[in-house]
């Protein structure tokens, strides 16, 4: 691809960027390992209070020396010219992007009208069963979103007036530079504010999407849903629909934004299949939420009826007096139709949201769904009645097929689909937006803030222009098109920021990926104590000899034999014995129980009181290869030899 | 720690298989801030849904709805602070209240509140994760375990708080060296800082005793001799204190050193006493019964004739049968644990043991003429059955058949270890090793 090659050749002009992008694989690997060291050190530091270990300090120094000397080199050798150059470099990069975009856009323009018209007919057709499947069309809007230039208000300043940025960067040389070895103290509040803003941003995922022009598939489904709800609100229709889409594709987000934009506030009842495991629980919650939103006057007599009924019936078992006092007794299921049919007669229209819709379909006889959908269907448009909308959210594709026939026939069959953000450009733009949030105003010097903002933006642009980073993000969305995964990675990256490394780096991002996406096997990371290792090796021996299940006594006798064998031929190196260390039975038993509590050893049979703990049978979850890697990491020769006997 | 800044993430999973208690303490310390409402729940204690709700809300409620409403009220009361719920030992939750895991992981979205749920666990998320992807993926935190220098530093730093008032500042240097020695010995065996601190606390009074008379810090030479003299005792402290065979105070009292230890030549470490579980006070016949039951539990029933049969071909005795070669090595039965036996079999073995080993100690009875007649009388006494029941009540024998069953003989199994059995056999002068099948 010509634009990419061009970009990399431009990058290679500045020495620091070459360091970052020129040989991404090697450098990232190296830096990754060093950073792991450093974070370890950091963790230790925080734990052991105010005694930082000298070793850790040294690694800090080393790594930063490398990075910072690169920066200093860049600054001193190239000087201001280089800064201007790099800023100018941003421009051609942009311009190379835009023709390509234009070309694509033209291609889209050719194909899109047809598709759009189709969609329009689909939407406007009054057929009851309208299943609108929106595929991911190439977006005309995408032109505005480019990886290096999302429409935040900071960036135009950066790109449109390169001179001012150059000036700002230029002033950095005179004063204490922001890219110096440690962050100058005056920027510390900025860093903290930035971190907090980003973390808050990453929590409120919906905000991130809203800022953006939403992808067109979302627009369609949003419009459909909004039309539906508006119909319910303003024309008192009874409506039902299903929002279908994979996890993290923004079902709840679309729904919430639609509800927010409604002309008058409806009664909203939120139910979740995860906690309303049966209809009676759901009914009670409906009654409660109705009571909350309409005022006591309505729901109280209704609930009073329930209790009267139950008080009159001496055969109903009562949970206990306490719950009755709280008024939390479950209503009888016979009350269900009465409760649901009351809903359209309320003073305001109602929207019932069923999260995890598929789980409601698993309730016996689907009574709740039947009642709800029956009421929806029978909802007559008149002045006395208000509308009722039932919106189900699910990620299960065959959710409709779960419905019984009588329920299905009352369901309108509208399925609105949501899809995830389709292209890498949009993901990059999303990342960009996540990392450059709108900050709350600080009690800070205006200049300092400006300087910080521009520095931050430059660094984020550099980060997102890095080939390695783009690859990683590509990989991540190839792994799971789930924005929460990306956001977890970003959260980790941001949390690693400190005054020592105040800007996000590709190395930090890669490390975040390893800790959040494809996690390494936990026990390879930890160094396990000696008795635990011995037991793990003994368990491998037991498996090798064909006994999948073992007791502690078996492991212990294996260990004891090995220990005796190693004592019989003591090996001394430099005056110290490198034989196996003695380990008493009780200590090993202790280690054994630790492994059991960690679920590394899993009980093979149900434990009874009659079996002594030494003789309970277990199996191990650690395979031979895993144990070998763990043992090799510890570097104990005797253990390695012992393990190798099992192969 | 990362957690302090993470209070904006809805669901965090923290896994520490080495020392969860230390991590929990650290988490509590981090979250102990005025602007954070922190609720800590131990899933060991909250073993039902109601208890879990009570532990979080401090108020009893019976369903998730009521819980969420309570949570919303609680959140509204403390509006301007972050809300964190930490749950320790999550695996117990999975065993006891499996339904609670999904709602807990989705608590923020279910309650529509900004709160953080932190799971603290010894196991990994994939062991707890509910099926079908019902829970959102957590944000992972892997705390790094403390390294040896860190532990030494942390423990040495506690001198001021713990011991300075008792021993004065003079011994601080010595304490640092002492901690280093304890860690040197014990660190390979346990990485838990609390355990190390416990062992160090148990030995310190005895360690400092020889030099306590002089209030000045000991010289380099004295210190080295001190360390050398006490290193072996640290190992024995580890062996009895780490598995909690005894407690620190008792151990310190039992191992109180001679004040002149420095002037004596190094003596070998006393062999730690094997706990006898009060077996030495048992009557002689009960010991025989225990040994017989151990044999009955360990040997296969078909080997009894070979082992104890008294026939013409006594040469064949004690020879192991030629077994068919199988692919997998057979495991010795004493490693697999005791198997149940009918009481009749045990009594028969008891008879054989008595006949072999006990005859010489008896007072001669001329009225018994047939060989073994006396033993027959001996083993059919009610006292034997009585002793068996008594041993069962002491849990030295375990009754495996229900007590109200009438048909068939009652089944028992031995509950003593091989070491104990060998010890008893030695006291009774029975060659137990020859009598065991394999």
Answer whether A260 touches B (CB < 8 Å).
Answer: no
Answer whether B160 touches A (CB < 8 Å).
Answer: no
What DSSP element (H or E) covers A392? strand A388-394
Q: Which two tokens stand for residue A385?
A: 């009645």
What DSSP element (H or E) covers A85? helix A79-124
List of residues 6+ apart from B334 with CB closer than 8 A: A553, B298, B418, B436
The CATH fold assigned to A217-294+332-417 is: Rossmann fold (3.40.50)
If you measure CA to CA, which chain B residue comes closest to A394?
A: B134
Name which residue leads in pLDDT, A175 or B111. Answer: B111
Answer whether B142 touches A (CB < 8 Å).
Answer: yes
Residues B388-407: tens digit of each pLDDT: 999 999 888 888 888 888 88
Interface test with A, best of B62, B67, B133 (most A CBs within 10 A): B62
CB A25 within 8 A of CB A31: no
Task: Assign B3 a pLDDT band (cuts: 50, 70, 90).
Answer: low
For the CA atoms of chain A, what is the radius of gyration?
Answer: 32
Interface test with B, best of A197, A515, A522, A581 (most B CBs within 10 A): A522
pLDDT at A625: 85
A502 CB-contact burial (10 Å; exposed 0-12 / middle 13-18 / buried 19+): buried
Distances (CA, A) of A462 to A172, A423, A425, A456, A466: 18, 20, 15, 10, 6
Cα–Cα distance between A440 and A427 in angstroms, integer? 25
Across A73-87, B66-80, B405-419, least confident range? A73-87
Cα–Cα distance between A446 and A449 in angstroms, integer? 5
Partner-chain contact B122 A529, CB within 8 Å: no
The CATH fold assigned to A522-644 is: Arc Repressor Mutant, subunit A (1.10.10)
Residues B119-152: tens digit of each pLDDT: 988 888 888 888 877 788 888 887 777 788 888 8
Cα diameter, chain A: 98
Nearest by CB to residue B64, choosing from A43, A275, A322, is A275
Partner-chain contact B335 A551, CB within 8 Å: yes
Residue with the two structure tokens 């999948």: A548
Q: With contacts defined as CB-CB under 8 Å, which chain A residues touch B59?
A: none
Nearest by CB to residue A203, choosing from B1, B9, B147, is B9
Name which residue leads in pLDDT, A38 or B218. Answer: B218
pLDDT at A28: 42
pLDDT at B252: 84
CB atoms within 10 A of CB A446: 8
DSSP E strand boundaries for B355-423: 397-399, 411-414
Cα–Cα distance between A359 and A277 in angstroms, integer? 8
Question: What is the separation, in whole angstroms, between the first and last Cα of chain A?
Answer: 50
Task: Assign B386 a pLDDT band (cuts: 50, 70, 90).
Answer: very high
Cα–Cα distance between A27 and A115 in angstroms, integer? 46
Answer whether B124 touches A (CB < 8 Å).
Answer: yes
Partner-chain contact A199 B238, CB within 8 Å: no
Rama region for A53: left / alpha / beta (φ>0; ψ in -120 to 50; rest) = beta
Cα–Cα distance between A104 and A101 in angstroms, integer? 5
pLDDT at A180: 57
Residue with the two structure tokens 């005025």: B34
Q: Which two tokens stand for residue B267?
A: 């003596």
Cα diameter, chain B: 97
CB A508 within 8 A of CB A493: yes
Partner-chain contact B122 A516, CB within 8 Å: no
pLDDT at B342: 92
Nearest by CB to residue B5, choosing from A195, A277, A583, is A195
CB A20 within 8 A of CB A466: yes
Partner-chain contact B146 A44, CB within 8 Å: yes
Answer whether A200 touches B (CB < 8 Å).
Answer: yes
Cα–Cα distance between A320 and A555 in angstroms, integer? 51
Selected residues 203-222 of chain A with any CB under 8 Å from a CB in chain B: 203
Q: With contacts defined as CB-CB under 8 Å, which chain A residues touch B69?
A: 288
Selected residues 457-496 of chain A with any CB under 8 Å from a CB in chain B: 484-485, 488, 491-492, 495
Cα–Cα distance between B128 and B122 in angstroms, integer? 11
Partner-chain contact B338 A485, CB within 8 Å: no
List of residues 6+ apart from B402 with CB closer than 8 A: none
pLDDT at B294: 92
Residues A219-247: tens digit of each pLDDT: 788 888 888 888 888 888 888 899 888 87
Distances (CA, A) of B410 to B346, B398, B400, B404: 11, 11, 8, 10
Mean pLDDT score, B241-255: 83
pLDDT at A7: 43
Q: With contacts defined as CB-CB under 8 Å, which chain B residues touch A275?
A: 63-65, 68, 103, 110
Task: Assign B247 a pLDDT band (cuts: 50, 70, 90).
Answer: confident
- What is the set of domains in chain B, with CATH numbers? 3-141 (3.40.50.300), 148-267 (no CATH), 279-311+333-435 (1.10.10)
Return mean pLDDT, chain B.
81
Q: With contacts defined as CB-CB under 8 Å, which chain B residues touch A198?
A: none
**Residue length of chain B:** 438
Partner-chain contact A551 B337, CB within 8 Å: yes
Answer whether A521 touches B (CB < 8 Å).
Answer: no
Interface test with B, best of A248, A320, A329, A590 (most B CBs within 10 A): A590
Residue with the two structure tokens 């909690």: B244
CA atoms within 13 A on the CB side of A344: 27
Q: Which two tokens stand for residue A226?
A: 């909004």
Cα–Cα distance between A162 and A94 in angstroms, integer? 13
Decide if pLDDT at B207 tops 60.
yes
Residues B296-321: tens digit of each pLDDT: 998 888 888 877 777 655 555 555 55
Decide if pLDDT at B79 tops 80.
no
Picking from A515, A422, A518, A428, the residue whose alpha carbon sits closest to that of residue A471 is A428
Partner-chain contact A553 B336, CB within 8 Å: yes
Q: With contacts defined as CB-CB under 8 Å, which chain B residues touch A51?
A: 153-154, 157
For the CA atoms of chain B, what is the radius of gyration?
Answer: 31
Picking from A61, A47, A57, the residue whose alpha carbon sits closest to that of residue B153 is A47
Percent residues over pLDDT 70 in chain B: 88
Residues A261-300: tens digit of each pLDDT: 888 888 888 998 888 888 888 888 888 888 878 764 334 3
Cα–Cα distance between B398 and A610 in angstroms, integer? 7
Beta bridge partners of B36: B82
Partner-chain contact B145 A491, CB within 8 Å: no
| Helix locations, B187-311, DSSP H | 193-208, 220-241, 248-254, 284-298, 304-308
Low-confidence ranges of chain A (pLDDT < 70): 1-183, 203-217, 295-333, 380-383, 421-422, 438-445, 520-525, 570-579, 609-610, 647
3-class SS at A244? strand
Answer whether A51 touches B (CB < 8 Å).
Answer: yes
Nearest by CB to residue B110, choosing from A195, A272, A590, is A272
Selected residues 18-47 of chain B with any CB under 8 Å from a CB in chain A: 18, 26
pLDDT at A207: 59
Cα–Cα distance between B62 and A322 in angstroms, integer? 10
Mean pLDDT score, B66-93: 84
Answer whether A197 touches B (CB < 8 Å).
Answer: no
Q: Which two tokens stand for residue A632?
A: 């090799």
Residue with the two structure tokens 């094997």: B274
| Helix locations, A177-215, DSSP H | 188-203, 205-211
Picking from B129, B20, B13, the residue whose alpha carbon sits closest to that of residue A516 is B13
Name which residue leads in pLDDT, B166 or A441. Answer: B166
Q: Which two tokens stand for residue A419?
A: 């899809």
Decide if pLDDT at B49 tops 90.
no
Cα–Cα distance between B8 and B83 in angstroms, integer? 9
List of residues 6+ apart from A296 with CB closer than 8 A: none
pLDDT at A319: 43
Where in chain A are the domains? 217-294+332-417, 422-517, 522-644
What DSSP element (H or E) covers A389? strand A388-394
Partner-chain contact B331 A589, CB within 8 Å: no
| DSSP string over B255-267 | TPPPTTGGGSPP-
Q: Which two tokens stand for residue B373?
A: 């007649």
CB pairs under 8 A between A and B: 170
Mean pLDDT score, B47-52: 87
Partner-chain contact A610 B139, CB within 8 Å: no
């Amino acid at each position: 691809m010509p634009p990419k090659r061009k970009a990399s050749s431009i990058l290679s002009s500045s020495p620091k960027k070459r360091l970052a992008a020129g040989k991404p694989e090697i450098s990232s690997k190296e830096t990754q390992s060093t950073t792991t060291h450093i974070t370890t050190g950091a963790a230790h530091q925080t734990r052991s209070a105010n005694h930082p270990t000298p070793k850790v300090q040294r690694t800090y120094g080393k790594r930063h020396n490398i990075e910072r000397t690169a920066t200093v080199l860049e600054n001193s050798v190239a000087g201001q010219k280089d800064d201007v150059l790099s800023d100018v470099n941003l421009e051609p990069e942009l311009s190379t992007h835009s023709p390509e975009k234009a070309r694509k856009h033209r291609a889209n323009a050719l194909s899109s009208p047809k598709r759009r018209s189709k969609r329009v007919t689909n939407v406007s057709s009054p057929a009851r069963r309208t299943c609108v499947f929106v595929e991911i069309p190439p977006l005309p809007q995408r032109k505005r979103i480019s990886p290096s230039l999302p429409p935040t208000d900071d960036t135009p300043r950066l790109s449109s007036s390169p001179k001012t940025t150059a000036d700002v960067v230029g002033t950095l040389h005179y004063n204490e530079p922001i890219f110096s070895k440690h962050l100058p103290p005056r920027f510390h509040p900025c860093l903290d504010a930035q971190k907090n803003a980003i973390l808050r941003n990453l929590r409120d995922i919906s905000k991130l999407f809203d800022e953006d022009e939403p992808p067109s598939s979302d627009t369609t489904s949003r419009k459909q849903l909004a039309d539906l709800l508006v119909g319910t609100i303003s024309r008192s229709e009874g409506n039902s629909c299903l929002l279908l889409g994979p996890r993290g594709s923004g079902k709840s987000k679309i729904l919430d934004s639609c509800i927010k934009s409604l002309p008058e506030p409806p009664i909203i009842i939120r139910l979740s299949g995860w906690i309303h495991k049966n209809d009676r629980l759901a009914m009670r919650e409906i009654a409660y939420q109705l009571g909350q939103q309409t005022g006591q006057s309505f729901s109280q007599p209704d609930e009073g009826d329930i209790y009267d009924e139950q008080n009159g019936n001496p055969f109903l078992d009562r949970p206990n007096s306490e719950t009755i006092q709280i008024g939390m007794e479950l209503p009888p299921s016979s009350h269900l139709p009465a409760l649901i049919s009351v809903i359209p007669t309320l003073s305001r229209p109602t929207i019932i949201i069923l999260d995890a819709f598929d789980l409601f379909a698993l309730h016996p006889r689907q009574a709740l769904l039947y009642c709800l959908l029956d009421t929806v269907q029978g909802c007559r448009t008149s002045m006395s009645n208000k509308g009722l909308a039932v919106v189900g959210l699910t990620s299960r594709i065959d959710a409709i097929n779960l419905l019984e026939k009588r329920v299905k026939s009352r369901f309108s069959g509208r399925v609105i689909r949501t899809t995830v953000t389709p292209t890498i450009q949009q993901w990059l733009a999303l990342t960009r937006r996540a990392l450059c949030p709108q900050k709350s105003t600080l009690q800070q010097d205006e200049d300092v803030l400006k300087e910080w903002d521009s520095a931050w933006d430059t660094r984020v642009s550099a980060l997102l222009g890095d080939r390695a980073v783009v690859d990683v993000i590509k990989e991540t969305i190839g792994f799971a098109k789930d924005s929460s995964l990306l956001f977890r990675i970003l959260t980790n990256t941001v949390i690693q920021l400190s005054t020592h490394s105040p800007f996000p780096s590709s190395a930090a991002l890669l490390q975040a990926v390893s800790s959040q996406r494809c996690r390494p096997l936990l026990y390879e990371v930890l160094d396990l104590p000696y008795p635990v290792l011995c037991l793990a090796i003994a368990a491998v021996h037991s498996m090798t000899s064909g006994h999948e299940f073992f007791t502690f006594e078996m492991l212990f006798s294996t260990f004891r034999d090995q220990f005796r064998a190693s004592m019989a031929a003591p090996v001394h190196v430099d005056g110290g014995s490198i034989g196996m260390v003695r380990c008493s039975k009780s200590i090993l038993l202790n280690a054994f129980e630790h492994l059991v509590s960690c679920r590394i050893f899993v009980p093979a049979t149900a434990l009874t009181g009659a079996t002594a703990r030494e003789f309970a049978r277990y199996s191990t979850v650690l395979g031979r290869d895993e144990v070998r890697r763990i043992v090799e990491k510890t570097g104990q020769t005797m253990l390695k030899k012992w393990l190798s006997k099992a192969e | 720690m990362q957690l302090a800044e993470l209070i904006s993430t809805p669901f965090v999973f923290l896994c520490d298989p080495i020392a969860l208690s230390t991590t929990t303490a650290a988490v509590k310390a981090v979250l102990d801030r005025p602007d954070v409402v922190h609720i800590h729940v131990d899933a060991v204690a909250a073993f039902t849904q109601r208890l879990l709700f009570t532990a979080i809300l401090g108020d009893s409620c019976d369903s998730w709805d009521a819980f969420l409403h309570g949570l919303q009220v609680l959140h509204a009361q403390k509006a301007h602070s972050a809300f964190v719920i930490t749950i320790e030992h999550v695996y117990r939750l999975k065993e006891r209240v499996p339904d609670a895991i999904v709602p807990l992981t989705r608590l923020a979205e279910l309650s529509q509140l900004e709160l953080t749920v932190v799971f603290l666990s010894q196991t990994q998320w994939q062991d707890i994760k509910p099926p079908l992807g019902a829970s959102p993926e957590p944000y992972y935190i892997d705390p790094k375990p403390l390294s040896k220098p860190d532990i030494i530093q942390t423990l040495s730093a506690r001198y001021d708080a713990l011991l300075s008032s008792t021993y004065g500042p003079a011994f601080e240097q010595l304490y640092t060296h002492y901690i280093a020695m304890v860690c040197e010995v014990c660190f390979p065996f346990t990485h838990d800082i609390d355990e190390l601190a416990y062992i160090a606390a148990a030995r310190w009074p005895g360690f400092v005793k020889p030099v306590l008379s002089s209030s000045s810090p000991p010289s380099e030479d004295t210190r080295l001799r001190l360390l050398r003299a006490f290193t072996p005792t640290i190992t024995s402290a580890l062996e009895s204190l780490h598995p909690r065979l005894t407690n620190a105070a008792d151990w310190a009292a039992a191992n109180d050193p001679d004040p002149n230890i420095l002037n004596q030549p190094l003596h070998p470490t006393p062999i730690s006493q094997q706990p006898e579980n009060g077996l030495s006070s048992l009557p002689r016949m009960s010991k025989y019964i225990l040994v017989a039951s151990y044999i009955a539990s360990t040997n296969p029933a078909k080997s009894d004739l070979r082992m104890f049969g008294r026939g013409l071909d006594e040469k064949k005795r004690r020879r192991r049968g030629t077994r068919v070669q199988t692919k997998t090595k057979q495991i010795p039965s004493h490693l697999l644990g005791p198997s149940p036996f009918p009481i009749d079999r045990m009594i028969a073995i008891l008879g054989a043991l008595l006949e072999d080993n006990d005859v010489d100690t008896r007072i001669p009875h001329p009225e018994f003429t047939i060989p073994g007649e006396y033993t027959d009388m001996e083993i059919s006494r009610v006292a034997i059955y009585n002793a068996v029941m008594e041993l069962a009540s002491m849990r030295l024998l375990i009754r495996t058949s229900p007590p109200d069953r009438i048909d068939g003989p009652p089944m028992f199994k031995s509950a003593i270890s091989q070491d104990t059995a060998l010890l008893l056999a030695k006291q009774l002068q029975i060659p137990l090793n020859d009598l065991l099948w394999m």
